[in-house]
C-alpha cells in the first residue's frame, strides 16, 4: 500500500509505458530506443503548475546536472514516423522531421544550478536505426 504511493509521480507511467511497449511491439525490445524514450519523450506534457517543469523532469528522469536536454511532446507513433515517411534523410542515420513538433528544451544554469525551459514548435532531427529513433540531435 505505502509502496505504490511512494513511487515518484513520473515513474509509474514510465513502467506502464515500458510494459505497454513491450507488448505492443512483437519484436525484440530495443534497449537504445527505450533509453531514447526515457530521455526525450514526455507526452502528454507533464503538469507545470509552479514553473519548475525542467527541474522536475530532469530530476525524475535522473539527468540532473546534464547541460541540456529536449523533451518531445508527441505520440510515439508520430516520433517513430520521422524514421520512415515522416522524415527526410540528413547525415548518415539522421532524419529531419517533415512536420514541426512540440518540444521543451531544458538548459542548465551552473551558477543557480537550476534549469530554464524553452518551449518550441519546430522540426526536429533524430538519429534512427532500423526504423526507430535512438537519439535526439537538435531542432531546426
Ligand X SMILES: *[C@@H]1O[C@H](CO)[C@@H](O)[C@H](O)[C@H]1NC(C)=O
What is the nearest approach in angstroms of ligand X to the Cβ of residue 55?
Answer: 7
- Closest separation between CB of residue 47 and ligand X, Å? 7
- Residue 45 or residue 123: which is nearer to ligand X going by CB? 45
Q: How far is the CB of 70 from ligand X (least distance, A)?
A: 17
Look at residues 27, 133, 8, 113 and name the one whose alpha carbon lies nearest to residue 70.
Answer: 133
6 vs 111 by CB, closer to ligand X:
111
Q: Considering the complex, state which of residue 11 and residue 19 has its C-beta at the smaller distance from ligand X.
A: 11
Closest CA to 44 of 78, 69, 6: 78
Q: How far apart are CA 114 and CA 108, in angstroms?
A: 6
Q: Which is nearer to ligand X, 7 or 20 (CB)?
A: 7
Cell triple for 111: 551558477
Least distance (Å) between residue 118 CB and ligand X: 11
Q: Would you list the DSSP string of 75-127? A: -HHHHHHTTTTTEEE-STTEEEESS-EEEEEEEEETTTTEEEEEEEEE-EEEE
Where along the sequence are the contacts to ligand X (CB under 6 A)? Answer: 50, 52, 56, 109, 111-112
Amino acid at each position: 500500500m505505502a509502496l505504490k504511493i511512494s513511487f515518484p509521480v513520473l515513474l509509474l507511467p514510465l513502467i506502464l509505458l515500458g510494459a505497454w511497449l513491450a507488448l505492443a511491439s512483437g519484436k525484440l525490445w530495443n534497449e537504445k530506443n527505450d533509453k531514447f524514450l526515457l530521455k526525450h519523450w514526455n507526452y502528454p506534457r507533464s503538469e507545470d503548475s509552479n514553473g519548475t517543469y525542467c527541474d522536475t523532469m530532469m530530476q525524475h528522469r535522473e539527468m540532473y546536472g546534464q547541460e541540456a536536454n529536449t523533451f518531445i511532446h508527441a505520440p510515439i507513433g508520430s516520433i517513430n514516423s520521422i524514421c520512415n515517411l515522416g522524415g527526410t534523410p540528413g547525415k548518415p542515420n539522421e532524419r529531419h522531421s517533415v512536420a514541426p513538433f512540440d518540444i521543451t528544451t531544458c538548459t542548465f544554469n551552473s551558477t543557480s544550478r537550476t534549469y530554464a525551459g524553452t518551449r518550441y514548435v519546430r522540426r526536429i532531427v533524430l538519429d534512427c536505426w532500423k526504423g526507430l529513433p535512438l537519439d535526439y540531435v537538435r531542432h531546426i
